[in-house]
């Protein structure tokens, strides 16, 4: 049970960092950040391999890179959920 909680916290951290890097906001709030972190960690680990550091079973560096790519794709497909300042 603790492993699942740590994985969700790690995925939320990865998704939050990706949300900061990508302009606009990810849809679905904190749930969207967790999903982006989980998908990004899987994508990054698959493409780049799982290298240190890891937290909650997710590789942080490839996970962040994968989540950024995933967030750009989601933003391109769904558009921005936050109004841009002029």
Close Cβ partners of 25 (under 8 Å, ≥ 6 residues apart): 19, 80, 81, 82
Considering its fold, how many domains does the chain have in total? 1
Give the C-alpha distances (Å, rounded to integers) separating 36 from 53, 80, 86. 19, 15, 28
Per the structure, the complete domain to which residue 61 belongs is given by 2-78
Rounded to whole angstroms, the Cα distance separating 11 from 70 reads 13
Is the model's pTM score more than 0.85? no
In a domain, 24, yes or no: yes
Q: Which residue, chain included where needed, has tokens 């960690």?
A: 41
Q: Which SS3 state, helix, strand or coil, does residue 50 take?
A: coil
In a domain, 83, yes or no: no
In a domain, 86, yes or no: no
In a domain, 11, yes or no: yes
Burial class of residue 76, CB neighbours in 10 A (0-12, 13-18, 19+): exposed
Give the pLDDT of the chain (86 residues) as one tens digit per residue: 888 899 999 999 999 999 899 888 888 888 988 899 999 989 998 988 877 788 888 888 999 999 999 988 888 887 655 555 55
């Amino acid at each position: 049970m603790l492993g699942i909680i740590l994985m969700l916290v790690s995925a939320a951290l990865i998704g939050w960092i990706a949300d900061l890097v990508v302009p606009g906001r990810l849809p679905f709030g904190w749930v969207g950040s967790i999903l982006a972190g989980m998908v990004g960690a899987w994508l990054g680990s698959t493409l780049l391999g799982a290298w240190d550091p890891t937290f909650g079973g997710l590789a942080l560096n490839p996970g962040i890179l994968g989540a950024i790519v995933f967030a750009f794709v989601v933003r391109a497909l769904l558009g921005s959920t936050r109004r841009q300042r002029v």
